[in-house]
Chains A and B, each alone.
Chain A
């Protein structure tokens, strides 16, 4: 392919990637943007001001969404670490089955699980609560975290731990001073993307939260359905902010070799 053709293809790709985000940026600053105006007659920060004011509930929603995603990620990390270690370092009978059980929630559409999940959490008295939503988010997040950590552990040489033990470290010390530093970059990246997976959930939150747990996507849909384009756009941009931040923090890892990371990096 010649260089000019390549550049042309790259430009087309860039345009395609950026286009759907442009109307959001413009709408968020628009004051009455009627058809057929190509650009709004007037720009204003009204939508932003309202979105950031207490009465819109956006900030509260932002807080709840952050809380849920953080808690989900922490639990997933605690539960996923030993499981990822087992999968990454050992070959054992039934390993394939475990991997399949982990892949299933990633592949099976949420709608297939959501009714049963709601039923269980209802019985446990957790439907409509933040705790219930956190548990529901574990269904997609935990497998993702575990599989990425399994990939991380498969590149870790456990003889380092044995070396530490022969030098007098307790199992906990060996983990704390040798293993953890070695897997930390992978763990952090997995955590950031787990956060994002939870952050992007819509259906699970809607079903289990039953409208009583208003995360950002639910709020966003509410404004979109009400036809408040300017507010919707402002909230949408606020909503993608953490993703941008995470991208800035991890840009290098994700272009790299870690297919597992990418595989799961989708809500």
Chain B
């Protein structure tokens, strides 16, 4: 057996499973989004579903909301994670506990975090109770709406809470691989602590940060259960809207759900390209 055919044989089962489920699934979604559903007598593909989706104000508002959630969550989580990674690289009392909590957090499913966040920051949550006890508010309605709110603050808080540890661990692994010699070299070449960070460490960490951020963005953009629990009734986050359309009793709405899924996949593909590029530039060096 040649090397090539042996490699092909080793890869075949995995490719079959993923091809059969993932790629075929995507293909099927694509077909249906063009309203090609022979079972329902639709055999003439068209773009009606896309037209309907893109002209509906609900869709655009949901798209905007989901982009806002993903952008804000990613930016805040990335920034805090950078600080946390730099902190955890040094030694201080309680470092072991912090790294334990960070790892613990990584294993907590999103839905649990979302419920915890709901009980913490909703208008009848723990913070509201504390505010009442401190005499800051008279009743739940006076507490700022942080869940089911138009700015999706609760959702963003949850993503920051959940993804900060993820980015931090990636950056820590990154920092560990880099070692401290690059910074030390910069210092002996006359760079101050801050200059060594800005001119050497930060550029070296950037590919890892970008790759991790792309993953976080994709997740915050496309996750369903978090906005389901913490999100407002309208506008809904895009995944919630798409799920609702797919389960609409009106069968005509289903191609629209498929069109939304395809649009979400398109944005995901852009992020995938971004991730692949960042990951590649990380491996070149």
Contacts and interface: CB of A to CB of B under 8 A. Distances in A.
Judge: A and B partners, yes or no: yes
Given A17-B105, A116-B27, A203-B225, 5 more contacts: A23-B116, A27-B119, A104-B268, A112-B261, A257-B173
B166 A266 contact: yes
Contact of B117 (A20, A87, A217): A20
B223 interface: yes
Closest 7 CB pairs of A and B: A109-B222, A243-B107, A116-B25, A20-B116, A23-B119, A112-B265, A83-B14
Contacts, number: 300
Main SS of the interface on chain A?
helix
Interface of B: 3-4, 7, 9-11, 13-15, 17-30, 32, 83-84, 87, 90, 92-95, 97-113, 115-120, 124-126, 128-130, 132-133, 139-140, 158, 161, 163-166, 169-170, 172-174, 176-177, 208, 211-212, 214-215, 218-219, 221-225, 228-229, 238-239, 242-243, 246, 257-258, 261-262, 264-265, 268-269, 271-272, 275-276
Among B107, B218, B243, the one with the most A-chain Cβ atoms within 10 Å of its Cβ is B107
B267 to A, nearest CB: 8
B173 A262 contact: yes
21 contacts: A6-B92, A17-B98, A17-B105, A20-B120, A36-B129, A86-B10, A100-B272, A107-B268, A108-B222, A111-B239, A112-B29, A112-B265, A112-B268, A116-B26, A116-B29, A120-B21, A135-B21, A139-B18, A224-B229, A247-B107, A255-B172
Interface string A180-200: 000000000000000010011
A142 B97 CA distance: 32
A121 to B, nearest CB: 8
Nearest to B177: A257
Interface bracket on A: 35 or more
Contact of B14 (A135, A142, A265): A142
B25 A102 contact: no
Contacts of B239: 109-111, 203
Given A116-B29, A221-B228, A107 B214 contact: yes
A263 B215 contact: yes
B202 to A, nearest CB: 16
Given A120-B24, A142-B17, A6 B101 contact: no
A4 B176 CA distance: 24
B6 to A, nearest CB: 8
A82 B169 CA distance: 28
Contacts of B264: 109, 111-112
Interface string A73-99: 000001110110111001010000010
B173 A111 contact: no
Contact of B18 (A102, A221, A243): A102
Contacts of B208: 259
A240 interface: yes
B26 A24 contact: no
B106 A9 contact: no
Contacts of A80: 14
A146 interface: yes
Contacts of B172: 255
**Which applies to chain B's interface (DSSP): helix, strand, loop or mixed?**
helix
A257 B242 CA distance: 38
A135 to B, nearest CB: 6
A200 B113 CA distance: 12
Interface string A186-225: 0000000000100110110000000000000100110010
A17 B126 contact: no
Interface stretch (A42-50, A51-59, A229-237): A229-237
A6 B116 CA distance: 27
A109 to B, nearest CB: 2
Interface string A116-139: 110110000000000000011011
Most buried by B among A22, A86, A112: A112
Contacts of B268: 104, 107-109, 112
B20 to A, nearest CB: 8
A10 B90 CA distance: 11
A180 to B, nearest CB: 16
A168 interface: no
B168 to A, nearest CB: 9
A109 B214 contact: no
Contacts of B19: 101
A127 to B, nearest CB: 13
A191 to B, nearest CB: 14
A120 B111 CA distance: 27
A107 B272 contact: yes
Contact of A14 (B101, B126, B211): B101
A171 to B, nearest CB: 11
B10 to A, nearest CB: 4
